[in-house]
């Protein structure tokens, strides 16, 4: 419950109007991103060689699906768990009255940050393909990943309880392991055919998993007829 009435409140005459404008701008930006991405993709494709075109055809949809998976995870899983803890803590002492501007700021920050963090495997893959960071170098960072994941979880999550931190930290660790595998697959192979086939297979599997994850999150939230 965000307030005794069950919805956020506003305490200034212009707060609701400002929140509406902010939401409209953010919604317009999100709605325009696919159109901008397609336009940029069509502009870029003629300039790329054949190998680069195949890579771009995989990479652009994967970026969008990764961000959608992260944003869906934040909004449908992490936020309900975090708000449930926060709004039930100390209710015998004080009554929660959440301002709509603060609620929207929290939701926006969570969705943006989790969406960006879910791009980690693609960043690792791209850096390996461009010979910026090798697979073996990424592997040496593995021992630091659990600690870093929990530090990031403590910064990102709206609460400091261990449950919500684990909900963020575990996916981050899994994302690093996926990125480690993708960086191995995407390492330069000097034109060997088996390397190209590995990349094509991995791209197909990765896109399929992303689509399945997004559908599962939407089904879990009841958007596609789930139990909620």
Asked whether the whole model's pTM tops 0.75, one would answer no
pLDDT of amino acid 194: 44
Among candidate residues 192, 145, 140, the one with its CA nearest the CA of residue 170: 145
pLDDT of amino acid 121: 86
pLDDT of amino acid 200: 54
Q: Which residue has the tokens 């997004």?
A: 214
How many Å from the N-terminal Cα to the C-terminal Cα in the chain? Answer: 17
123 within 8 A of 182, measured Cβ to Cβ = no
Q: What is the mean pLDDT of each run of 10 residues along the chain (228 residues)?
A: 65 82 79 73 71 71 82 83 76 78 82 85 83 84 89 77 78 87 72 50 60 60 49
HSE-CB for 122 with a 13 A CA cutoff: 21
Q: Which residue has the tokens 């995407």?
A: 186
Rounded Cα distance, 180 and 175, in Å: 8
129 within 8 A of 179, measured Cβ to Cβ = no
Rounded Cα distance, 158 and 105, in Å: 11
β-pair partners for 99: 9
pLDDT of amino acid 127: 83
The string of DSSP letters for 81-92 reads HHHHHHHHTTTT
Q: How far is CA 171 from CA 46, 66, 150, 174, 228, in A?
A: 37, 13, 11, 5, 23
Task: Tell me the backbone φ, ψ of residue 9, rounded to 5 degrees.
Answer: -120, 160
The string of DSSP letters for 156-180 reads HSSS--HHHHHHHHHHHHHHHHHHH
| Number of CB atoms found within 10 A of residue 33's CB | 12
Q: Show Cβ contacts of residue 205 under 8 Å, excluding neighbours closer than 6 positions.
A: none
Residues in the chain: 228
Task: Tell me the backbone φ, ψ of residue 214, rounded to 5 degrees.
Answer: -65, -45
Q: How far is CA 16 from CA 20, 28, 176, 178, in A?
A: 6, 18, 40, 42
Where in the chain does DSSP place strands (E)?
Answer: none
């Amino acid at each position: 419950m965000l307030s005794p009435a069950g919805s956020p409140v506003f305490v200034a005459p212009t707060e609701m109007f400002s929140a509406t404008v902010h939401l409209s701008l953010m919604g317009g930006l999100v709605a325009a991103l696919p159109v901008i991405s397609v336009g940029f993709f069509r502009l870029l494709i003629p300039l790329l060689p054949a190998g680069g075109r195949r890579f771009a055809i995989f990479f652009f949809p994967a970026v969008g699906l990764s961000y959608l998976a992260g944003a869906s995870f934040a909004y449908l899983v992490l936020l309900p768990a975090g708000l449930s803890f926060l709004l039930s803590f100390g209710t015998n002492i004080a009554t929660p009255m959440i301002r709509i501007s603060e609620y929207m700021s929290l939701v926006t920050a969570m969705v943006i940050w989790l969406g960006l963090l879910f791009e980690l495997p693609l960043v690792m893959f791209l850096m390996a393909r461009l010979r910026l960071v090798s697979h073996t170098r990424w592997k040496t960072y593995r021992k630091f990943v659990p600690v870093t994941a929990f530090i990031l979880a403590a910064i990102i999550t709206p609460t400091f309880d261990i449950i919500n931190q684990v909900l963020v930290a575990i996916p981050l660790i899994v994302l690093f392991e996926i990125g480690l595998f993708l960086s191995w697959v995407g390492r330069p192979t000097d034109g060997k055919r088996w390397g190209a086939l590995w990349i094509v297979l991995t791209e197909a599997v990765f896109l399929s998993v992303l689509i399945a994850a997004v559908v599962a999150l939407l089904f879990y939230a009841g958007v596609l007829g789930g139990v909620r």
